[in-house]
Amino acid sequence: QVQLVESGGGLVQPGGSLRLSCAASGSIFRLYTMAWYRQAPGKQRELVAAITSGGSTNYADSVKGRFTISRDNAKNTVYLQMNSLKPEDTAVYYCNGRIGSSYWGQGTQVTVSS
């Protein structure tokens, strides 16, 4: 069983930045594909960014050039650096880890508002 714990959400003004962190339990974190998803009220959960065990990344078109996903295998942690935030980025952000089975964190709220 893998546990994922997100942190770093909050309220930020448009144009601001936040960094989300997701700490994972277990000894094989380095083998997981890690991802960030988000879900806005009334909308389906969507993939924001993912990073493979080899470090390859992909992003949703809506966040390309603004968000960066990274991982630190020594710390069992994946990050999402979010810059130039927009009101439409407001959502609950979830961390996901996958190697065969898929694991989810509890989510962290990000609100972009003036």
pLDDT tens per residue across span 37-77 = 999 999 999 999 999 999 999 999 999 999 999 999 999 99
| Measured CA distances, 42 to 9, 18, 38, 39 (Å) | 20, 23, 12, 8
* Three-state secondary structure call for residue 48: strand
User: What span, in angstroms and rounded, lies between the C-alpha atoms of 109 and 102?
Assistant: 21
**How much of the chain, in percent, has pLDDT values that exceed 70?**
100
